Amino acid sequence: MGTSRGASTAILCMAALLVVISTISTTSAQELTTTFYDQKCPSLFAIVKQQVQIAVKAEKRMAASLVRLHFHDCFVNGCDGSILLDDAPGIVTEKNIGGNNNSARGFEVIDTIKSILECACPNTVSCADILAITSRDSAVEVGLTESYPVYFGRRDSLNSSDSIVNDFLPSPAFNYAELKNNFHNVSLNETDLIALSGAHTIGRVRCQIITATTIDDTNINAVYRAQLAKECDPALFDPITTLKNLDLKTPDKFDNNYFKNLRRNEGILTSDQTLQSTPGINVDIVKDYAQNKENFYRDYGLSSIKMGNIKVLTGNKGEIRKNCRFVNPVPSIKLPTDPRVASE
Ligand code: HEM
Ligand SMILES: *[C@@H]1O[C@H](CO)[C@@H](O)[C@H](O)[C@H]1NC(C)=O
Ligand SMILES: *[C@@H]1O[C@H](CO)[C@@H](O)[C@H](O)[C@H]1NC(C)=O
Ligand SMILES: *[C@@H]1O[C@H](CO)[C@@H](O)[C@H](O)[C@H]1NC(C)=O
Ligand SMILES: *[C@@H]1O[C@H](CO)[C@@H](O)[C@H](O)[C@H]1NC(C)=O
């Protein structure tokens, strides 16, 4: 009896080992899959969906902020969760640099999702993957009626990429050629540029940006610019805390009004309006998305999947962070460098 139990234990261990070996060989293929968490963390989908619903119910804009976090993660040295890291010894956070400074937000929602996941399936779901699924669920929550599959298997970076944030995040002052280059730099083409820019159908922009880019851009409707100049007058309004809607028609709905706005020359950023005002195939793509919402939705999903593949860490690269703000092991004393942490 002792021997038979020993033998069956050995068989079980071999079976476990085989599972481990087959897992290693599939993940080292550097390919993300839609089924990655189906066995390892089946509750992931319900947890993220529910937390996104709660966060968006509390504040509509949060959907936009969460969509943007995944973009800012992916463009800067790949979708590796680096944007979530706070300052720590050897780490300079990306949060206060360039396009993220006074702007990237939603970190507390990611923290909540991560802490629930650490109870449900400890050491399993990467922060980079949480950003990818949270972005999708946020868009769906506010109107993207044609969902898309999220691919998983990313791992988290061991460092941040603060020094290159400004090299990789596109500027709202960019012209079409600059935007095209910036996207080509991360293997995204003009269709991707235009479809993903459609995320500006939700969310807000600071007056600081509008004053610097929109007010003097003659591609943009003069009446609209005059109105924005008044509403963003730096003598009357704080340029950082005063916000305008990116989509002046339906600011909190993930629809195709962004493209209709562009065709009336009511894009709010220079980088938005140039997608319509620069001659080229881009004009046809904008027209298509303005006229066929389902084409925009389809391409937004396809381009989001492409963006989610940028320089991902898979297999045994990187790690699964315990706390998205820190590389493992999590410091026992939270460092009060990030005001968002200190105020908790
Ligand atoms: C094409 C180049 C892009 C440029 C130059 C750009 C620039 C900007 C700027 C300047 C803001 C306002 C930030 C602020 O004032 O705080 C903004 C907001 C936003 N961006 Fe973009 N963006 C681009 C592409 C994208 C992409 C690809 C996505 C996602 C797929 C995206 C999603 C968003 C969202 C959702 C917001 C609103 C965020 C919020 O309200 O918290 N953007 N973007
Ligand atoms: C971030 O914005 C603040 C103003 O709120 C400014 O003082 C600081 O220099 C900015 N940081 C960077 C790295 O641009
Ligand atoms: C982060 O680490 C990777 C791998 O060790 C390295 O290639 C990259 O240059 C590092 N990035 C920064 C900003 O230090
Ligand atoms: C392209 O990537 C390089 C780094 O690899 C960066 O220095 C450069 O600024 C990027 N160009 C654009 C247009 O984003
Ligand atoms: C961009 O790439 C997609 C495939 O990912 C392709 O279907 C589309 O036609 C390309 N767009 C352009 C303008 O090349």
Residues 59 and 54: their CA atoms lie apart, in Å, by 9
The answer to whether the Cα torsion of 293, 297, 302, 303 is positive or negative is positive
The kind and range of the H/E element at 45 are helix 44-58
Domain boundaries, the chain: 27-307
* Ligand 3 pocket, Cβ-based, cut-off 6 angstroms: 159, 161, 163
Task: Report CA(334)–ligand 5 centroid distance (Å).
Answer: 45
Chain-centroid distance, C-alpha 189: 18
Residues 294 and 76: their CA atoms lie apart, in Å, by 30
Q: State the catalytic residue, choosing from 72, 154, 155, 322.
A: 72
Residue 170 marked in a binding site: yes
72 part of the active site: yes
- What is the CATH number assigned to the segment(s) 27-307? 1.10.420.10
The answer to whether the Cα torsion of 282, 309, 40, 319 is positive or negative is negative
Instruction: Show pLDDT as tens, one digit a residue, over the chain (344 residues).
Output: 344 444 443 333 343 333 333 444 444 446 999 999 999 999 999 999 999 999 999 999 999 999 999 999 999 999 999 999 999 999 999 999 999 999 999 999 999 999 999 999 999 999 999 999 999 999 999 999 999 999 999 999 999 999 999 999 999 999 999 999 999 999 999 999 999 999 999 999 999 999 999 999 999 999 999 999 999 999 999 999 999 999 999 999 999 999 999 999 999 999 999 999 999 999 999 999 999 999 999 999 999 999 999 999 999 999 999 999 999 998 886 655 544 443 33
Task: Report CA(112)–ligand 3 centroid distance (Å).
Answer: 27
